[in-house]
Amino acid sequence: MKLKEKVAIVTGAASGMGKSIAILFAQEGANVVVSDLNLEGANETVGEIEANGGSAMAILTNVTKEDDIQNLIDTTAATYGTVDILVNNAGIMDNMAAVADVTDESWCKVLEVNATSVMRATRKVLPIFFAKSGGVIINIASVGGFHGSIAGAAYTASKHAVIGLTKNTGFQYAKEGIRCNAIAPGAVKTNINITMTNINQKGAAICTSGMSTVPRIGEPEEIARTALFLASDDSSFVNGTVLTVDGGWTAY
């Protein structure tokens, strides 16, 4: 088992990539904290893990609330004694609007969920990592963090921010024994599209114009296997980088 007795937090783990990561980490021996705004879904993930002999607990978390993030890390440490791995997976889409049509409300919400929460969770867990000179952070970015119009302005900016934060964190704390990497998924089968409301039709037409070049749609489990690599000692010399997992889409 690659994560035996490790303690891992996975945000947004009630469904999609987060759920697959949580389940795989548990199969590899980790005690997994399933964090999500959807507590019912988080409990279902825990149920699947426990049914297969794994160890997990669910914590209701709204990642836009500082108090919820504080509670997430504190409760995990109090329950399991420490935190070894933090996976910042929670995220939402925007409505495909370009700058001319972006509202302050939409901009702030997307940046808060997709980027600010990553900073806050990382900031909160670092003292635990400092104390034991080690820890792993995995941020779920997107190929939209490399390109300009796979999504709208807010989502694109948020994922560029996640990539920049990943690189900064990885280098800043490398000598502390802490690794921080990101995964940039391409098109993957998840339910993130349910977070899209009031879709901007003009923006959507432009953003989806390149979808015909997608070689295939990925499975959440394929992202989970990449996360396992980054969480384990197999990637001990991988730090401050972004692994693109998109079936070759961005190679076009």
Percentage, residues of the chain above pLDDT 70? 100
Q: Which pair of structure tokens corresponds to residue 82?
A: 């420490």
Q: What would the mean pLDDT of 165-183 be, rounded to a whole number?
A: 98
Q: How many CB atoms lie within 10 A of CB 134?
A: 13
**What pLDDT is recorded for position 195?**
85
Catalytic pick from 80, 155, 173, 252? 155
Per-residue three-class SS string for 5-30: CCEEEEECCCCHHHHHHHHHHHHCCC
Instruction: Name 87's Cβ contacts closer than 8 Å, sequence gap at least 6.
Output: 8, 9, 10, 11, 18, 21, 137, 138, 140, 227, 231
Angle at the Cα of 213 from the Cα atoms of 209 and 217, rounded to 5 degrees:
105
C-alpha radius of gyration, the chain, whole number? 17
Residue 78's pLDDT band (cuts 50, 70, 90): very high
Look at residue 197 and tell me whether its pLDDT is greater than 90. no
Q: Which of 63, 55, 77, 60 is nearest to 3 (CA)?
A: 55
80 is known as an active-site residue: no
* In a domain? residue 228: yes
Residue 194's pLDDT band (cuts 50, 70, 90): confident
How many whole angstroms separate alpha carbon 194 and alpha carbon 196? Answer: 5
Domains identified in the chain, total number: 1
CATH number of the domain enclosing 225: 3.40.50.720
Task: Report CA dihedral (166, 169, 171, 172) to the nearest 10 degrees.
Answer: 170
Look at residue 77 and tell me whether its pLDDT is greater than 90. yes
Q: Which pair of structure tokens corresponds to residue 70?
A: 């504080």
* In a domain? residue 131: yes
Q: Which pair of structure tokens corresponds to residue 38?
A: 């959807």
How many whole angstroms separate alpha carbon 172 and alpha carbon 162? Answer: 15
Size of the chain, expressed as the number of residues it contains: 252
Q: What would the mean pLDDT of 217-222 be, rounded to a whole number?
A: 97
* In a domain? residue 2: no
* In a domain? residue 99: yes
Rounded alpha-carbon distances, angstroms, from residue 89 to 16, 113, 205, 213: 10, 10, 27, 26
* In a domain? residue 1: no
Residue 238, domain extent: 7-251
User: Per-residue pLDDT tens for 58-71?
Assistant: 999 999 999 999 99
* In a domain? residue 69: yes
Q: What is the pTM of this model?
A: 0.97
> 13, exposed or middle or buried, with CB in 10 Å at 0-12, 13-18, 19+?
buried
**What pLDDT is recorded for position 98?**
97
